[in-house]
């Protein structure tokens, strides 16, 4: 089927950007494999014929150590993306993950896997900060949302790949796949153009122009490079201290948005679903489905939903996807909560035992259509250059922190009051995200990064870097030009 003319026009002349985005995010497939690795591999490690002796307590730490690595990698990530750049950080991340896969494949004991998972968590954190920054700064605004969403598509591909492969092959086989993916990145990505924003920020205008010429073979490079230079110069004048994330109005608004959205990803129960799906379906009394099959179906549905959203995000906008996703995900979780309420109060629900399984799969589609995809797009759009590394790193820290909080809410409330209680909370959070989106989140579709900054300042108008507009902006934020 042919693409509509409008879609074809949107992608015309953007092939170099697409190649750069795919090359730079290919290692995110490997990061997705690391994220989903424990689900199919831990049962093998706990089996009698495991190649490595692993206890149940040690196996639980294999899940946690990845997130601990991500937490510990936050300061390093903030340093790297500014010091060696977005492109350099992605190459460093791919190199580290490649080493992690080699260690896992050759590990003689579980301690080696601990170390490998820890550095893989650090590398994954760097990749998921640097990749959105790189794409947002090099992409044309008409496809920026689509290209930014490739990051999550790559990660979901990795999760689906590990679920489909790992249960049926020796433990070292996924490691070989991970090594190959990162090797391709290390071979191809050095030849891709660097971020024009970053190059101008580092006072390398000639390199920035050459980079933009490669990315925009058919565009007006001279005009755009002037716009970018004006934006970078204005943002350089603004302070970049950590406290300015709170003190400056536009930064504060961006930070609040990203903290809420990153929290919403987990407080809408995605970690709970991924890590407890089998036990949830068993408690529901649903038709039996193996954990590996359920995981494959769940991740496949999320991938399809994310693919659809990535194609729609630059046509319908970020807000529409967030609102639609929040309503549908909240409704799906509400159905699960009501089902368990009836079941735990003695109501015969055997004839509708298929409902929770269907609701969980509907949730998978709804979640990845908006709440699970849009934050990665917005996170690199909302923060100005001066505080982008700090803002995105704090956002990433909130993402990690809320994953732990959501799991604790689920287990503690389930054990004390019943499984329906946490699902009511998760459903309500989804609807609160809808209200928050409508009231607080600006639409960034089709806007330049500079225009987005002025919208966040309360000046909803296109700005092209004129001296008068810049002067007014500085005064509004408490600065003098």
pLDDT above 80: residue 13:
no
Exposed/middle/buried for 45, CB within 10 Å: 0-12, 13-18, 19+?
A: buried
Indicate the domain borders of the chain.
14-204, 233-481
Query: What pLDDT band is residue 119 in, cutting at 50, 70 and 90?
Result: very high
> Which has the minimum average pLDDT: 104-108, 266-270, 333-337?
266-270
pLDDT in tens, 392-413: 778 878 887 888 788 889 888 9
**Average pLDDT score, the chain:** 84
Give the mean model confidence (pLDDT) for residues 420-445. Answer: 93
Name residue, tokens 């729609």.
312
pLDDT above 60: residue 236:
yes
pLDDT above 50: residue 481:
no
pLDDT above 70: residue 26:
yes
Compare 141 and 27 and report the one with higher pLDDT. Answer: 27
Four-way CATH pick for 233-481: 3.40.50.300, 1.20.1250.20, 1.10.3720.10, 1.10.10.10: 1.20.1250.20
pLDDT above 50: residue 282:
yes
pLDDT in tens, 213-224: 999 887 778 888
Positive or negative, the CA dihedral 350, 354, 355, 356 is positive
Query: What pLDDT band is residue 316 in, cutting at 50, 70 and 90?
Result: confident
Query: What pLDDT band is residue 468 in, cutting at 50, 70 and 90?
Result: very low
Compare 471 and 403 and report the one with higher pLDDT. Answer: 403
Closest residue by Cα to residue 309 from 137, 135, 153, 441:
153
* pLDDT, position 134: 92
Compare 13 and 478 and report the one with higher pLDDT. Answer: 13
* pLDDT, position 93: 96
* pLDDT, position 373: 83
* Whole-angstrom distance, CA of residue 31 vs CA of residue 25: 10
Q: In the CATH hierarchy, which fold is given to the domain comprising 14-204?
A: Growth Hormone; Chain: A; (1.20.1250)
Domains 14-204 and 233-481 alike in fold: yes
Compare 9 and 419 and report the one with higher pLDDT. Answer: 419
* pLDDT, position 238: 61
pLDDT in tens, 373-392: 888 778 778 887 777 778 87
Compare 279 and 473 and report the one with higher pLDDT. Answer: 279
pLDDT above 70: residue 461:
no
* Whole-angstrom distance, CA of residue 183 vs CA of residue 180: 5
Give the mean model confidence (pLDDT) for residues 416-435. Answer: 94
Mind giving me the DSSP string for 284-336? HTPPP--HHHHHHHHHHHHHHHHHHHHHHHHHH-HHHHHHHHHHHHHHHHHHH
Compare 144 and 337 and report the one with higher pLDDT. Answer: 337
pLDDT above 50: residue 456:
yes
pLDDT above 50: residue 303:
yes
User: Packing angle between helix 27-36 and helix 110-138, nearest 10 degrees?
Assistant: 140
User: Packing angle between helix 85-106 and helix 74-83, nearest 10 degrees?
Assistant: 140
* pLDDT, position 2: 40
pLDDT above 50: residue 41:
yes
pTM of the predicted structure, to 2 decimals: 0.76
Coil/strand/helix, residue 157:
helix
pLDDT in tens, 55-77: 888 887 887 788 788 888 888 88
pLDDT above 50: residue 268:
yes
């Amino acid at each position: 089927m042919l693409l509509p003319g409008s879609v074809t026009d949107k992608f015309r002349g953007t092939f170099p950007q697409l190649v750069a985005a795919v090359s730079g995010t290919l290692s995110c497939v490997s990061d997705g494999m690391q994220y989903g690795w424990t689900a199919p591999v831990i049962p093998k490690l706990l089996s009698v014929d495991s190649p490595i002796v692993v206890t149940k307590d040690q196996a639980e730490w294999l899940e946690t150590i990845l997130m601990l690595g991500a937490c510990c990698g936050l300061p390093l990530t903030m340093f790297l993306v500014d010091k060696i750049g977005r492109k350099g950080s992605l190459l460093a991340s791919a190199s580290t993950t490649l080493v992690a896969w080699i260690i896992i494949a050759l590990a003689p004991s579980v301690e080696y896997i601990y170390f490998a998972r820890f550095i893989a968590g650090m590398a994954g954190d760097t990749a998921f900060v640097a990749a959105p920054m790189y794409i947002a700064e090099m992409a044309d605004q008409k496809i920026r949302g689509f290209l930014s969403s490739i990051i999550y598509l790559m990660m979901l591909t990795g999760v689906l790949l590990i679920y489909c492969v790992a249960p049926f092959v020796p433990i070292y086989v996924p490691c070989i796949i991970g090594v190959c993916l990162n090797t391709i990145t290390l071979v191809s990505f050095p030849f891709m153009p660097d971020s024009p924003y970053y190059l101008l920020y580092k006072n390398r205008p000639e390199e920035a122009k050459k980079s933009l010429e490669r990315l925009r073979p058919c565009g007006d490079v001279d005009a755009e490079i002037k716009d970018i230079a004006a934006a970078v110069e204005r943002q350089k004048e603004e302070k970049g201290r950590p406290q300015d994330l709170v003190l400056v109005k536009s930064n504060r608004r961006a930070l609040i948005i990203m903290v809420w959205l990153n929290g919403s990803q987990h407080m809408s129960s995605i970690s709970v679903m991924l890590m407890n799906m089998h036990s949830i379906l068993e408690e529901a009394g649903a038709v039996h489905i193996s954990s590996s099959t359920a995981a494959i179906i769940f991740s496949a549905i999320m991938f399809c939903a994310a693919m659809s959203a990535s194609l729609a995000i630059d046509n319908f906008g970020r807000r529409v996807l967030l609102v639609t996703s929040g309503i549908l995900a909240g409704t799906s979780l509400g159905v699960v909560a009501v089902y368990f309420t009836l079941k735990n109060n003695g109501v015969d629900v055997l004839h509708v035992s298929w409902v929770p399984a269907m609701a969980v799969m509907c949730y998978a589609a709804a979640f990845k259509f908006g709440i699970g995809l849009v934050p990665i797009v917005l996170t690199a759009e909302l923060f100005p250059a001066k505080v982008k590394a700090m803002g995105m790193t704090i956002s990433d820290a909130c993402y990690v922190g809320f994953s732990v909080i959501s799991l604790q809410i689920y287990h503690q409330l389930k054990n004390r009051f019943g499984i329906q209680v946490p699902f009511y909370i998760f459903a309500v959070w989804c609807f609160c995200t809808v209200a928050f989106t409508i009231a607080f989140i600006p639409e960034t579709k089709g806007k330049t990064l500079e225009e987005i900054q002025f919208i966040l300042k309360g000046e909803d108008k296109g700005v092209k870097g004129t001296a008068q507009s810049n002067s007014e902006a500085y005064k509004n934020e408490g600065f003098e030009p």
